[in-house]
Structure 1
Amino acid sequence: MLIDRPWMRRAKNLTYFCNSKLHCTLMASTFSSATIAHRYNTVTFCNTFLKKSLIPTNSLLRFHSRTLRQQISVKTVSFKIHCISSKNSSQVQSFPATNDVPFVSYFSIFSQFGIKRLESAIAVLLIFIQISSPLPFNNLESDESFISPANAVLYSPDTKVPRTGELALRKAIPANPSMKAIQDSLEEISYLLRIPQRKPYGTMEGNVKKAIKIAKDEKESIFNSMPTDLKEKGSALYTSLLEGKGGLQSLLNSIKEKDPDRVSVGLASSLDTIAELELLQAPGLSFLLPGQYSKYPRLAGRGTVEFTVEKGDGSTFSQVAGAEPKNKPQFRFDLLLPVVIDGYSAPLTAGNFAKLVLGGAYDGVKLNTVNQAILSANEEKSNGYSIPLELMPSGQFEPLYKSKLSIQDGQLPVLPLSVYGAIAMAHSDISEEDSSPFQFFFYLYDKRNAGLGGLSFDEGQFSVLGYTTVGRDVLPQIKTGDIIRSAKLVEGQDRLILPTEY
């Protein structure tokens, strides 16, 4: 006997949910496309729906054909929907069919033999509704749960920023384009090494051969970028890069042997040599400072500050950097903490910091630990001056001043804050467009408190001037009340420019 029944309301206004008590409820909503964030996608299906249907078997809801067979003779057809749970899988709620504006005019149900056909049709229909329903594009930007493409940088797993201080500092060197091409070719290998299985050694080999070819073909341009008095040192580094024990040829042999550990060590050695060559090519700043800042101290290159930190309560630091794990833990009353500061990307910030270090401004200063940071005490030694917020965007030739970066629009800094052991200046008490001239902090980056792209939510907000490259593993042992016994500028004093008017 042929039975025709309208069985559902307008499908685009119905969404099934399961509440906390595992009862099924029915509420009005709007279906959305899979292209919208998952918060808009609320339709699920069930794992026991049909073995031969088009619905995946791991869904949560199911239709009961037995109930359909029992009630097929009555005037209204009732569907039962289960929310599957290990605690309670028997609670159901019925939804009687109505005659209100049927989305599909009629379904033909053949008793006994038509049930599975009906269920398959329902499955196909629901999939079609999910894909083709009108999308709620109005006022999406005002909805907090919508993430537009322009605002997705913090959440993108593909966001590529340096993850170590060494890499960030190497990328910040304004070197010869040929050296940068060699560097980029080798740094790609570091990403390829992260592939857990079947590492693409063929691609790695091609990258090294490309680097060797560039180094040989562009030898003249590489040396022309160096000052005359540094070419002898550059020649020794160049030879070491091509033929040395930790050079490109040795790296190529390690790749051919498919030894990932040796490849990693050889790659690090080659990149260190490249960084040394690049530093010889960049003796000073590659841009002119704005006129209003010409009277500020500035660092025209790299410098190294060495902090000596001691416990405020007289206790010791344990297992200092460089200690052999097989030996007994080493204990010291002080911690030696070298920090590389970068004047190529933050000349004013690094220059002011280096000047304060030379003057002994940080000797005896107490440290405070706050959320994800070790902050120096503010001793109010600003003497009435301020330092502008200074950030160099990636791909630009000079820093921006008194302006934060719009990370949501894709602006990324050359010196990112999202690196464990980054050192940056706090904001001025007067304006966030300025940095404090004295107070700095070590940033203890934690990926658990960052976006999916691995960027800190404070990225682009502070003037980063360098990184802790040695001893950063001991930073968590620094506690509130610990003291900077001394801070010394051990490298870079010859690149510190102090105007006489300042």
Structure 2
Amino acid sequence: MASSLRAFVITCNQLPLSRGPRGRPSPLLPAIVPPPAPPRKRARARAPRSGVRAAASPHHCPNARSQELLNLLHHGLRRRFDSAVAAILIVAQISLPLPFANWNPWLIPSANAVLYSPETKIPRTGELALRRAIPANANMKAIQDSLEDISYLLRIPQRKPYGSMEGDVKKALKIAAEGKESILGSIPEQLREKGSVLYASLVNGKGGLQNLLEAIKEKDPDKVSIGLASSLNTVAELELLQAPGLSFLLPEQYLKYPRLTGRAVVEVTIERGDGSTFFPSAGGEPKSFASIQVVLDGYSAPLTAGNFAKLVTDGAYDGVRLKCANQAVLSDNEIEKYGYSVPLEIMPSGQFEPLYKTTLNVQDGELPVLPLSVYGAVAMAHSMDSDEYSSPSQFFFYLYDKRNAGLGGLSFDEGQFSVFGYTTVGREILPQIKTGDFISSAKLVQGRDRLILPDES
């Protein structure tokens, strides 16, 4: 290895140098190029700037010529040294396996590892994020993963891999058939009859896996998309039946807070402050008010969602004005003392319980189960006293914009706030909200039975 390297370096030193811009030698590689152009004529020496002319002397010429020769020799040696270093690096890179055995992570800063990774896979819709957050049976999660893989395959333009899609559906059908007893056995007895109906609908019913398989064989992407959405909705309903409560125990010191042990739905009615109208995207008539539905997720943020649900039932948000900020619509009530000062609550992906009073280091690969990087995400603002706590009552709708995110699609605020739900109905209203609009009413329309108050525990 040493002898071959030495021979390679000597050979490279005998080659002419490549020249970069303005004819300067390239510091990177010895070049195999045509001989260099003839040297340019030297410019005449200028007089010293002191204004005193140097007296001509026959001794000055030999000294100047010697200095010029020394300079040329110095530059020549420097060029050969640069060529040798470049050659050594090339041979070392070719000889060593990649990645290097002693790879040092500081060579590429971890700060950009996830935030700018194009392969970062996070839910792109609130529905998908909510479905993934359900703590369900392992068989149902496997079926869900197979079907969600089809969602990615459908995004491929032109020639779609229908063969792979067919394989995913057949895999889901096999899991459903072999794991039927486990799937239904995970449902509480009082809900098992409903679960059996949903299971039959998923496997053989209209809009189930069999119909999805037929649509794939027809290679009709529209039918596949509709059938896939129907099957995933049925999967989510089954998973919700399998998760009657929290899959973890809350720390004892947090039992004094309200908590939501599942899902709940809040309907928020917003009115214009200036008398203008909202324009529904579905072609409805413009109105001075609009309704938005928010699904609260107590599985991943029981304290934050519970506090918000209690405030809604108490009417704390009725009449509260809204204000618009960069990529957010906030409730303008940060100085009001409603609600509990709940600790910052974020569940990392792959974990079984939330973290409290700490943010996630997204740059090192930590991702939340409920990401902020989804249009219509609902989160609590930080407390005015400490970033370790959420505001007792001030919340915001996050207007995610991929143009203001990293290449991986992650918001630069990802992992910094307690996200507790998503806007599922009325997302088209969010960008129309203006500062001065107000919440005329907020009602808990589903999930009151999942809300546990401190005096009820």
Under TM normalisation by the shorter chain, which class is it?
0.7 to 0.9
Q: Counterparts of 1:23-38 in structure 2 under 5 Å?
A: 24=22
Q: Counterparts of 1:447-486 in structure 2 under 5 Å?
A: 447-486=402-441
**Distance in 2 between residues matched to 1:127 and 1:262, nearest whole Å:** 58
SS at match of 2:445: strand
User: Which structure would you say has the larger Rg?
Assistant: 2
Number of matched residues? 407
What does the per-residue CA deviation read over 1:157-185, in whole Å, with 9 as the maximum and x for residues that have no partner? 00011010000000000000000000001
Structure 2 equivalent of residue 317 of structure 1: 278
What does the per-residue CA deviation read over 1:32-51, in whole Å, with 9 as the maximum and x for residues that have no partner? xxxxxxxxxxx9x9xxxxxx
CA drift at 1:362: 0.3
Structure 1 equivalent of residue 222 of structure 2: 261
Give 2:177's aligned amino acid: K
CA drift at 1:332: 1.1
Structure 1 equivalent of residue 258 of structure 2: 297
Query: Per residue, is there more helix in 1 or in 2?
Result: 2
Give 2:73's aligned amino acid: N
SS at match of 1:155: coil
Kindly indicate whether the alpha-carbon contact (under 8 Å) linking 1:424 and 1:442 is maintained by their aligned counterparts in 2.
Answer: yes
Alignment CA distance shift 1:501-1:339 (3 Å): closer
Structure 2 equivalent of residue 182 of structure 1: 143
**Distance in 2 between residues matched to 1:125 and 1:190, nearest whole Å:** 53
SS at match of 1:369: strand
1:487 is aligned, of 411, 426, 442, to 442
CA drift at 1:200: 1.2
1:331 is aligned, of 252, 269, 286, to 286
Alignment CA distance shift 1:148-1:229 (3 Å): same
CA drift at 1:195: 1.2
SS at match of 1:337: strand
Give 1:435's aligned amino acid: S
SS at match of 1:226: coil
Structure 1 equivalent of residue 97 of structure 2: none
Alignment CA distance shift 1:181-1:64 (3 Å): same
**Distance in 2 between residues matched to 1:349 and 1:385, nearest whole Å:** 9
Structure 2 equivalent of residue 307 of structure 1: 268
- Of the structure 1 ranges 382-391 and 362-371, higher mean CA displacement relative to structure 2 is found in 382-391
What does the per-residue CA deviation read over 1:119-156, in whole Å, with 9 as the maximum and x for residues that have no partner? xxxxx99985884699xxxxx999xxx74256410010
CA drift at 1:372: 0.2
CA drift at 1:382: 2.6
**Distance in 2 between residues matched to 1:418 and 1:5, nearest whole Å:** 57
SS at match of 1:166: helix
Identical columns (%):
65
Structure 2 equivalent of residue 169 of structure 1: 130
Kindly indicate whether the alpha-carbon contact (under 8 Å) linking 1:369 and 1:479 is maintained by their aligned counterparts in 2.
Answer: yes
Give 2:160's aligned amino acid: K
**Distance in 1 between residues matched to 2:362 and 2:389, nearest whole Å:** 19
Residue segments in structure 1 that go unaligned for 5+ positions in a row: 18-23, 32-42, 46-52, 55-62, 77-96, 107-123, 135-139, 324-328
Q: Structure 1 residue 99 and structure 2 residue 77: aligned? A: no
CA drift at 1:501: 8.1
CA drift at 1:98: 3.7
What does the per-residue CA deviation read over 1:212-243, in whole Å, with 9 as the maximum and x for residues that have no partner? 01101100001111111111111111111111
**RCO higher in structure (CA 8 A, sep ≥6):** 2
SS at match of 2:265: strand
Give 1:266's aligned amino acid: G
SS at match of 1:500: helix
Q: Structure 1 residue 367 and structure 2 residue 322: aligned? A: yes
Alignment CA distance shift 1:125-1:379 (3 Å): closer
CA drift at 1:255: 0.7
CA drift at 1:383: 5.1
SS at match of 2:212: helix
Structure 2 equivalent of residue 348 of structure 1: 303
After superposition, the CA RMSD in angstroms is 3.3
**Distance in 1 between residues matched to 2:23 and 2:359, nearest whole Å:** 47
Kindly indicate whether the alpha-carbon contact (under 8 Å) linking 1:7 and 1:98 is maintained by their aligned counterparts in 2.
Answer: no
CA drift at 1:64: 8.7
**Distance in 1 between residues matched to 2:416 and 2:313, nearest whole Å:** 27
